Chains A and B, each alone.
Chain A
């Protein structure tokens, strides 16, 4: 049996993918019965292929749902946690660039009005 390719699965829509998963699962159950009833080695070898195909199909389904969620929540202040980016736990808890560089108004004004001057000696 040829393994189902993810690139082909991505062309399908959600309902078709769900049906694909159901078909694969029914096939898997028949193969498992064949294993019990002493099936041909060809059938037994097929079990692994079918299991992996189910996994790829479910992955594609999840991927599609997540891309839709990403589109819906793009630009919004509060995004679902798995859309926000995993990075590392420490990085997620760091101050943002904006928060780090924030200055008190007094200091900000001082810096704006009295910037560090640079002089050069004319030749």
Chain B
């Protein structure tokens, strides 16, 4: 009766021809097809693969292997206020600085490193001038 919407003849004909659910084709503007971003779920493991976390391999004790007390090293301690250590080859300068300050109660201005021909890493740890290199070396036991 009155008020009933008349079905659109054009629309119904389209539905009859193409089906009720018509997928709208997206326009590709590039030549290449790149995979669209899909949903990536985060992991929710039902059990732990290793139950106990392993210990960190490079802690403050294992970075420093030994101090060097060669003639050259002793000279460096005296003249440049710098300690010379053999250090784990995987240690980086930031680590060396942090752990040296923690272990030996000093303030480190900078660290230089080199890798010796025998594969060991040598670290030159420059101490800030408020500390005496010789005193620190004595305390550690190098001299």
Interface presence of A28 (CB below 8 A): yes
Q: Chain A interface: which size bin?
A: 20 to 34
For A79, the chain B residues whose CB sits under 8 A away are 47
Which of A31-39, A93-101, A114-122 forms contacts with chain B?
Answer: A31-39
Given A58-B55, A69-B52, A82-B50, residue A37 in contact with residue B143 (CB < 8 A): yes
For B47, the chain A residues whose CB sits under 8 A away are 73, 78-81
Closest to A25 in B: B61
Separation of A35 and B66 alpha carbons in the complex (Å)? 9
Are B51 and A37 in contact, CB atoms less than 8 angstroms apart?
no
A2-59 contacts to B, CB under 8 A, are 22, 25-26, 28-30, 32-37, 58
Separation of A78 and B47 alpha carbons in the complex (Å)? 6
Q: How distant is B118 from chain A, measured CB to nearest CB, in Å?
A: 16
Closest to A70 in B: B51
Q: How distant is A83 from chain B, measured CB to nearest CB, in Å?
A: 6
Separation of A78 and B46 alpha carbons in the complex (Å)? 6
Q: How distant is B38 from chain A, measured CB to nearest CB, in Å?
A: 28
Are A69 and B51 in contact, CB atoms less than 8 angstroms apart?
yes
Closest to A62 in B: B52
Are A34 and B52 in contact, CB atoms less than 8 angstroms apart?
no
For A29, the chain B residues whose CB sits under 8 A away are 61, 64, 103
B23-78 contacts to A, CB under 8 A, are 46-52, 55, 61, 64-69
Interface presence of B141 (CB below 8 A): yes
Q: Which residue in B48, B52, B65, B103 is a CB contact (below 8 Å) of A32?
A: B65
Separation of A22 and B66 alpha carbons in the complex (Å)? 17
For B15, the chain A residues whose CB sits under 8 A away are none
Interface residues of A (CB under 8 A from B): 22, 25-26, 28-30, 32-37, 58, 62, 65-66, 69, 73, 78-83
9 contacts between A and B (CB under 8 A): A26-B61, A32-B66, A33-B142, A34-B141, A36-B67, A58-B55, A73-B47, A80-B47, A80-B50
